[in-house]
A and B are shown apart, each in its own frame.
Chain A
């Protein structure tokens, strides 16, 4: 008797909900590295909260890190529930091992949106999952608006290396709306001590005959702030000649400002710095308070990664360099003379 009645109630609840459009229920893929929560994930959470419905977080990893991450994450403002899945299988996060878990979680579920930061992992994983669920994905959104009455979500995102802004809508015919969030456009979600949310473990999904094996990872070590979240960035280009002069010239400037280091593609390709420091369309997108472009001409592809910075300062020998069209403060000078003087005068 009882089970049957509750079933009926549940059904009528669903029907009523559908008539007025279901309330959004987002699943946010929260990333961590060695137990530290990824700051981009906090911005993704903020974006998910703007949908105006429930927000579930998902944390996946090995038993070594997941418990500590869960403890931190459950205090995040905006989360209404937290799911976690722990397995040795997830120690090295591969799209091939994670996508079956997400697929299972999302199939026949109440989730309406899947949200993530555009990390190299999420960008590899989410399209794979979306394709399996036969839905599109909107990459790197800069704003969003959900309309509950039509069950559609409208996003803006840059296209053509940020030279145009596209406004796109995912209609109600897309049952689960996948999107990744540009961290520079959403403040990170804060922590809230007193919060009590439902925390639930989910079983890992085994992947027999996984075609892919992780071999090794090399991370560039640095004491400097992380490029994508730094408030100040000092970035260098081709004229810095080689790795030694790049470091000798820009490290002291970054040190005096407490800034992260960045680079143009030319500098990265020439091997002056690690690839992960590339700023631009195909590298990192940054929007710090201060961006100092030293010896960077300002190609479209580079501007795509930094033109939302609050203040842009450029030092370049070429007075016609395109960087001067976006720089708030431009100095036409030889960088080898100007940079040491800037350091000297900043210290005064």
Chain B
């Protein structure tokens, strides 16, 4: 970061360490959750969020004022790996709100309050927060909207295209909505949540992974932020979904169509 320049654009990207998307998860025998001794990685939507922040910087003409990208995660000690990934992808600095290994997963409202506290207590100014539209573990899809509500900022969820106008201090965003697309214009500061089609996240190169080890990670505790992560939803149990009895193969198209017709699926025209 160059000294004495006014920061043009501060982007904050909260990321989450989640069970890797390719892992076939198993419910534990106590029915309290799923077996977490499996591969974890950054929530895929959050990779897209980091990628977008880096691309925003790369899209700016050379010689522009700097963009700072701050990554943030809330979770057990191992979550710092996720921050290192974000730093290797191009984030400049990171915050880790460390939770004890055994504490329950924080809920979106707790996370949103923590991000709000970091914005208000730890950062001078934030122009834009980019979050994934949902995490692939709890599938709740709420944090970005809750944060926008708490801060009273404009929001653009399910973004598939983000265009910034730095002069006007606003963003034109294409959103994926039921049945099509929508464009909105949102003033800074704003919240964006990413859809799958926003971009294709890059792989961190080895030199960048090495560099990321030297980038600053600030550790914080829930007490530093004055935020409680006590869940409000009581998890009664976690169970396996009902098994589908499938797996019957037929030998020919004739047999397939026969089965369709037998089940009442005939041509309508």
Q: A residues engaging B (CB < 8 A)?
A: 33, 94-96, 99, 119-121, 123-132, 134-140, 154, 157-171, 173-174, 210-220, 232, 255-258, 265, 268-269, 274-276, 281-282, 289-290, 300-301, 307, 311-313, 315, 319, 324-333, 338, 341-342, 345-347
Contact = CB atoms under 8 A, between A and B. Distances in A.
Given A327-B247, A347-B267, A95 B241 contact: no
A298 B28 CA distance: 24
B214 interface: no
A343 to B, nearest CB: 9
Interface of B: 19, 21-22, 24-25, 27, 34, 107-109, 112, 133-134, 136-150, 153-158, 160, 172, 175-187, 190, 195-197, 232-241, 244, 246-250, 252-257, 259-261, 263, 265-269
A103 B187 CA distance: 22
Contacts of B240: 164-165
A342 B250 CA distance: 13
A1 to B, nearest CB: 44
B248 A330 contact: yes
Contacts of A95: 145, 148, 155, 157
13 contacts: A121-B177, A127-B149, A129-B149, A131-B112, A136-B107, A139-B139, A166-B237, A215-B183, A257-B267, A268-B197, A313-B259, A324-B247, A328-B259
Given A215-B182, A325-B247, A346-B261, 5 more contacts: A159-B238, A163-B34, A211-B190, A217-B182, A281-B139
Contacts of A214: 182-184
Contact of B269 (A132, A213, A255): A255
Nearest to A173: B232
Contacts, number: 261
Nearest to B107: A136
B265 A211 contact: no
Nearest to A338: B253
A131 B137 contact: no
B260 A313 contact: yes
Contact of A96 (B22, B155, B195, B257): B155
User: Is chain B's interface secondary structure helix, strand, loop, or mixed overall?
Assistant: mixed
Contacts of B257: 342, 345-346
Contact of A174 (B141, B232, B248): B232
A136 B265 contact: no
B239 A127 contact: no
Contact of B172 (A96, A215, A301): A215
B233 A136 contact: yes
B109 to A, nearest CB: 5
Nearest to B237: A167
List the 8 closest A-B pairs by CB distance, nearest first.
Answer: A211-B154, A131-B146, A127-B145, A128-B149, A258-B268, A127-B142, A131-B149, A219-B180
A168 B34 contact: no
A135 B108 CA distance: 10
A182 to B, nearest CB: 11
A134 B255 CA distance: 57
Contacts of A134: 109
Contacts of A157: 139
B181 A217 contact: yes
A64 to B, nearest CB: 18
B139 A140 contact: yes
Contacts of B177: 120-121, 217, 276
Given A167-B239, A219-B180, A138 B248 contact: no
A158 B232 contact: no
A150 to B, nearest CB: 11
Given A125-B145, A265-B196, A167 B236 contact: yes
Contact of B241 (A164, A174, A211): A164
